[in-house]
Amino acid sequence: MNGLILALVLVGGVFTTATPQIAAHHGTTFLVALPSNPTTGYAWTARVRGSGIVSQGSAYQRPQSAGMGAGGQQVFSFDAVRNGTATITFSYARTWEKHVAPIKSAVFHVTTT
């Protein structure tokens, strides 16, 4: 986790559900980290509405504990490409369950300058 925190400081910050308001500067990258456990079949997906940011995808970060089935976090990367405002809506669901509501969601409001 310390390596991730160091990397986040260099790119512009990491945000969690405790920080739903994001201010990003044009030309920077910011990360959103959400608790995740792919052994359950659940994964986060992101939907961006608005302007000013571009999603660069996500990666799963394993937990530091070696416990079987322990959850880690899914880290999403976004580039602030121009001034604007956007809303990122994250949904935590099983992708094969098409008509089932997500078990969790998170919404972030982003302003880029």
The model's pLDDT over 17-48, given as tens digits with 9 standing for 90+, comes to 666 789 999 999 999 999 999 889 999 999 99
Cα(75)–Cα(77) distance, integer angstroms: 7
Helices (H), 1-113: 2-11
Identify the CATH number of the domain defined by range 2-112.
2.60.40.2020
Cα(63)–Cα(106) distance, integer angstroms: 21
Q: pLDDT tens digits, residue range 58-86?
A: 999 888 876 777 788 999 999 999 999 99
Where are the domains positioned within the chain?
2-112
The pTM assigned to this predicted structure is 0.83
